[in-house]
A and B are shown apart, each in its own frame.
Chain A
Amino acid sequence: MSGLTAALRFVHYAAAIALAGEFAFLLWVALPLRPADRGEWAVRCRRVAARWLALVLASGVVWFFVQAQVMSGGAYDRGTLAAALTGTLFGRVASARLALSLALAAALALLPRARYDTLLLAVCGTLAAALLTALAATGHGAAEQGTDRAVHLPADALHLLAAGAWLGALPALAFTLRRGADIPFAAGAVRRFSALGIVSVATLIVTGSVNAWYTVGDVPGLLGTRYGILLCAKLALFSVMVAFAAANRLRWTPAAEFSRLHRNALAEAALGLCVLALVAVLGITVPALHAKIVWPFPYTLEWSALARPRVVPAHPTTYFESPVPYSAPSVLRGERLYAEDCAGCHGPYGNGDGPLADSLPRRPPNLATRLATAREGDLLWAIANGVPGTAMPAFARLSEDQIWDVLNFVRAQANVDAGRRLDGSVERWRPVTAPDFTFQIGRGAQESLAGQRGRTIVLLVFYSLPQSLPRLRELAEAKPSRFARMGVRVVAVPLAGTPPRDAKGMDASMLAVPDPGLVAAYAMFTRTIAGPRTAPPRHVEFLIDRQGYIRARAIEPGREPIWTMSELLRQTVLLNKELSRAPAPRRHAH
């Protein structure tokens, strides 16, 4: 099916471009050059345009039926076709373009009777251009929203228009330059055409760059995905086309070598068809921005704002990005795997101080540092395949998702380490990212910490009853008025068991049923700079800012008494006064 779709796209794009190009040549080159011979050229243009229009119509109709089946997933009855035609953007664009085609057919039919009136020819040209540019509304830009759509969609439309004006006009140019051509006319045509070509090529480059920004994004995507490779091939062909055009302009036009110019125009057109074949395939290929980038080279360039670009070793997975969010369940899954496979050498927290570390020829690195400086895709590779020349073995039996879990655990440890000095004040900035988690208030809908991003400050309270009862009552009293004004949401989670059935003066809208594992994951974040604690905490509060960072912490029993209500509110006032920072990463990313 995808082969058929690509073939139909190819035919349809080629025909629509040739149709628009025919009019571009007529209106920009032929008519201004020889107003006297207008009849001869307009007749030719009408004859050729009618053929291309027939092909546009036929391929468009077949494409619609094939696409309807692709969209519906196989069902093929009248209801499906009706839904495809009226219920989808593709269908609505197809109907609009069908109407344009019919209007163009009618205008072409009227031409002889109107004695090839210039205005009517211009109307035909406009209809052909509209027929071509409307194709943009079936592309990538159509699925975007807001500014992206407002930039991408017109860029695609212009790109198509420029392709029509240059590539589409090449057949007419070749016809002009054929053997036995009218030499003065051919010379003028080449001159006028080259102005059209320069503007078109410049437009193609600018709008193509915009499109590539939205579909490829970066160099690794260009070299490491199928989409990117196809695009590179397209660029190579495009370059050769431009080289032919440049040779025509700089060498063969001054030399008045019309047979050479003719041959080159045909070669350009043939290359253009190859470009369109690639476009047809690109259209049904996952854009590089959404595809997994498999880096093809053993080295890559690494650059930052501060340093010169460096050549560094790379792996196929170097540009992989973790699809596993940094969340409490993932951290806990990672913790189990880490304890089994990694802690022996790397130590319980990744400091490189495991019991076996001393017996190794070289001590294992500090994983928190490694994580901060290396690409996660390289770490994935190191874990899966080992590191040659060191004691690091390959963990081939771990799945990719398991390795991402392990890295999320290591990341949590780096955050825990950065948060060991957390206290009751938000004033000192510490980059401690709160792992995401889900919770429910009573039997309400499931919510998540990530869902609070940008909206509320979260006071995450871990309590045990009955010790925490007075504190929870105090929070309940403050909640309706003061917390609401500060944009603070209190989420209270029992350190053990489930929330009490009887609220006993606590606020039931604060009492959350957490996802399993939340308590265990956040227990990691009670580590302090003092040695291991003697008694487990009975009550812990974390203040999490709108960007998802843990900013302050109170532990009981601890060195300092827990926040008084006024102190807590003062901290939230400070958070509200802050300029917003970059949001904490949800995924494990740099």
Chain B
Amino acid sequence: MRRWLGLLFAAAACLAATGALAHAYLDRTVPEAGSTVHGSPAEVKLWFSHALEPAFSTVQVLDRNGRQVDRKDKRVDAGETKLLKASVPALPPGPYRVIWRVLSADGHVTRGEFAFEVAP
């Protein structure tokens, strides 16, 4: 019996891990990265791989001069905690940049950006 338990001990040299933390990654967006939309979108939406913390997850839409053009109402969707969105007024045609920085529910920060174009 003892020997058997000892073997179990030895076999214990296997997998073990704790406290690993995930980060939220950008899954898809509307408008899609690099795409052209006809007419201004009403909202910019970003879906992530993990649930977000609303308090510290932000997204900004910038025009070609780097001015913030969204309505500064960024929010994590109440029903879908992986979705971050911000509404925009009627955007004139031109290129736009979307800059995001999100905190996932496990306390990790990721950031990135993408571009889209508004066509008449």
Contact = CB atoms under 8 A, between A and B. Distances in A.
A216 B20 CA distance: 10
B68 interface: no
B17 A159 contact: yes
A159 B22 contact: no
A89 interface: yes
A211 B13 contact: no
Contacts of B51: 143-145
B109 A205 contact: no
B23 A211 contact: no
Please classify how large the interface on chain B is, using the bins under 10, 10 to 19, 20 to 34, 35 or more: 35 or more
Contacts of A163: 18
A455 B30 CA distance: 18
A90 interface: yes
A234 B16 CA distance: 8
Interface stretch (A52-60, A68-76, A119-127): A68-76
Q: Does more than half of chain B's interface fall in helix, strand or loop, or is it mixed?
A: loop
Interface string A517-555: 000000000000000000000000000000000000000
A156 interface: yes
Contacts of A450: 28
Contact of A140 (B39, B42, B106): B106
Interface stretch (A244-252, A294-302, A369-377, A408-416): A244-252
Contacts of B39: 440, 443
Given A215-B20, A290-B25, A445-B41, A73 B101 contact: yes
B96 to A, nearest CB: 13
B34 interface: yes
B19 interface: yes
B13 A72 contact: no
Nearest to B105: A143
Contacts of B63: none
7 contacts: A143-B50, A238-B13, A238-B16, A249-B9, A279-B18, A284-B108, A443-B39
Interface of B: 2-3, 5-6, 8-10, 12-25, 28, 30-32, 34-39, 41-43, 49-51, 53-56, 81-82, 101, 103-109
Given A279-B17, A279-B18, 14 more contacts: A71-B53, A87-B54, A87-B56, A88-B53, A88-B107, A140-B22, A143-B24, A194-B5, A209-B14, A238-B12, A238-B13, A242-B9, A242-B12, A286-B23
